[in-house]
Amino acid sequence: MDQADKLREKMELLKEKTSSARVIAVTSGKGGVGKTSVSVNLALELRKQGEKVVILDADFGLANVEVMLGIRPRYNLVDLVFNNRTIEEIITEGPMGIGFISGGSGVQDLVNLEKGQLKKLIAKLVKLDNLYDVVIIDTGAGISDSVLEFVLTSPEVLLIVTPEPTSITDAYSLLKAVNRNKEFDRKNKFIKVITNRVESEEEGREIYEKISIVVSKFLNIRLDYLGYIPQDKRMGDGVIEQSPISISVPNSEPAVRIREICSNLLELPFEEDKKMGIARVLLEFIRSKKNRG
């Protein structure tokens, strides 16, 4: 039995033994579209609606979530694996009690784990799945291998798109790269579009329709529309001031729209058996990395 087979066997065991969190990857075709800001405000609005939420900053090396929240974590995911830290030690508490985990130097290091290290990692991540209802993975932007692997392994994906032509074309390029990957699970993959920095509800819907028409014609992917976030200077101010708009101006239109997006997300049908949990998602990520060689 090779390493990939052993990983698959462990994932099957995880299906039976864990109480799994709902894992949502937030991604974009390019940088600069407000992906991290959306991730953080989604976490805060989900928390307001009673969900226990943790953010995993998987945009390795850039620490965007850390900067936006004004938090400097003491430990990160690498410390969990290689420095014998507990899951509680690597979780930093953010505003309103949301959790935050820094990815550190990268999940790439996980690919070279020995059997004993992998077993310890699974046990620790299972505990994380039991602590939270929702794990939001703030991926990198673009079409790097790590971004693609998180999109492929996460059961739910939120794709952030703005009116910029490059944002739309790069979002399509990301979907095209996902579509041609042999590991893409079309049956169980949920990809939902959020349009950001739009001037109106109509513009947001129009951008989604534009992408959806092309995707349905040329790619074997189903997209759903989750909602829009209007252009508002206060969103940018919140990043600069390290005070997310859901906290600083909770009744502003962007905060209200993010709240509606969270409600839509929670109301959409999502079967319990598709709640993979972060332990299984990261195991899938490692397996995918190993297969790529």
3-state SS, one letter per residue, for the chain = CCHHHHHHHHHHHHHHHCCCCEEEEEEECCCCCCHHHHHHHHHHHHHHCCCCEEEEECCCCCCHHHHHHCCCCCCCHHHHHHCCCCHHHHCEECHHHCEEEECCCCHHHHHHCCHHHHHHHHHHHHHHHHHCCEEEEECCCCCCHHHHHHHHHCCEEEEEECCCHHHHHHHHHHHHHHHCCCCCCCCCCEEEEEEEEECCHHHHHHHHHHHHHHHHHHCCCCEEEEEEEECCHHHHHHHHCCCCHHHHCCCCHHHHHHHHHHHHHHHCCCCHHHCCHHHHHHHHHHHHHHHHC
Q: Which pLDDT belongs to residue 47?
A: 97
Averages of pLDDT over each 10 residues, the chain, 293 residues = 53 53 92 93 96 88 78 88 90 94 72 75 85 92 84 92 96 95 83 97 97 92 95 88 93 97 83 70 78 64
Q: Which pLDDT belongs to residue 105?
A: 65
Q: How far is CA 10 from CA 5, 96, 119, 151, in A?
A: 9, 35, 9, 21
Q: Which pLDDT belongs to residue 49?
A: 94
CA distance 275 to 45: 20
Tokens of 30: 């390019």
Strand partners of residue 15: none
Tokens of 16: 């039976």
Q: How far is CA 177 from CA 132, 180, 224, 278, in A?
A: 31, 6, 18, 23
Q: Which pLDDT belongs to residue 126?
A: 86
Q: Which pLDDT belongs to residue 218?
A: 93
Q: Which pLDDT belongs to residue 23?
A: 92
Q: Which pLDDT belongs to residue 288?
A: 75
